[in-house]
Chains A and B, each alone.
Chain A
Amino acid sequence: NAGVMQNPRHLVRRRGQEARLRCSPMKGHSHVYWYRQLPEEGLKFMVYLQKENIIDESGMPKERFSAEFPKEGPSILRIQQVVRGDSAAYFCASSPPGTGMNTEAFFGQGTRLTVV
């Protein structure tokens, strides 16, 4: 069972370009979470999605950022018109459906975005 797969691992974009970060959850997992880690800081929650639904986007910047988790295919975090302040490591995590013992989230290796 492959782990959470994120690609690309490293992404360089010029200011004003678009960045697309992909996350394939573990097999059987229907919950996906995106986090951003800025240098010298912890992980900040961005958005929580289930298949075709955004459950909680309270951590998403109001502009330029969007996320989706379609019925088929990976979850995508999209950043339009990137600025230098978007440079960070973006981590995806997935968990199986339900609560109780199945609440563990598994993390991917992250995508390190550099805006130049």
Chain B
Amino acid sequence: AQSVTQLDSQVPVFEEAPVELRCNYSSSVSVYLFWYVQYPNQGLQLLLKYLSGSTLVKGINGFEAEFNKSQTSFHLRKPSVHISDTAEYFCAVKEGQAGTALIFGKGTTLSVSS
């Protein structure tokens, strides 16, 4: 069965600092990987996704993530964060076949302060 582990529940950083939000998954088959962002009282917005091809994926708002199959990881990174990046970030996995749903991690709260 699939599962997603987000290793840090909260990540506080200062503005303009780099940040990495960690995500590991478990699955016995090929997977698709996603990062979503949720601002307070809002729905989820897709940041980026890995389906196939290059393991380094670039998304919106300057975020990127790298798929590492051997380590079953999909960590999210941004070289310089802004106050406006303060939000909840969710990693999700979907098995690469029809008839399966997205499975989410518990989320990481990124708090950016000045």
Residues of A within 8 A of B (CB): 4, 33, 35, 41-45, 48, 55-56, 91, 93, 98-101, 103-110, 112
Cα–Cα distance between A77 and B99 once the two chains are bound (Å): 19
Query: In the assembly, what is the distance between CA of A99 and CA of B31, in Å?
Result: 11
Complex-state Cα separation, A70 to B106, whole angstroms: 31
B7 to chain A, nearest CB (A): 13
Q: Are B101 and A42 closer than 8 Å at their CB atoms?
A: no
Q: Is the CB of A33 within 8 A of B101?
A: yes
Interface hub of B36, B44, B97, B101 (most chain A Cβ within 10 A): B101
> CB-CB < 8 A to A101: which residues of B?
51
A-B CB contact pairs (8 Å), 7 listed = A4-B43, A41-B107, A42-B90, A56-B100, A56-B101, A98-B98, A104-B34
Distance from B89 Cβ to chain A, minimum over Cβ atoms (Å): 10
B66 shortest CB reach to chain A, Å: 19
Contact A103 B44 (CB under 8 A): no
Query: Chain B contacts of A35 at CB under 8 A?
Result: 104
Write out the residue numbers on chain A whose beta carbons fall within 8 Å of the beta carbon of B102: 33, 45, 93, 105
Which of chain A's residues have a CB closer than 8 A to the CB of B104?
A: 35, 42-45
CB of A42 within 8 A of CB of B42, answer no
A105: chain B residues at CB < 8 Å are 94, 102
**Chain B residues with CB below 8 A from A45, complex form:** 101-104
Q: Which residues of B contact A103 (CB under 8 A)?
A: 32, 51, 94, 96
Instruction: Please determine whether B43 and A107 come into contact, CB atoms closer than 8 angstroms.
Output: yes
Lowest 5 CB-CB distances: which A-B pairs, in order? Answer: A42-B106, A107-B44, A109-B43, A43-B104, A48-B101
- Give every chain A residue within 8 A of B100 (Cβ-Cβ): 48, 56
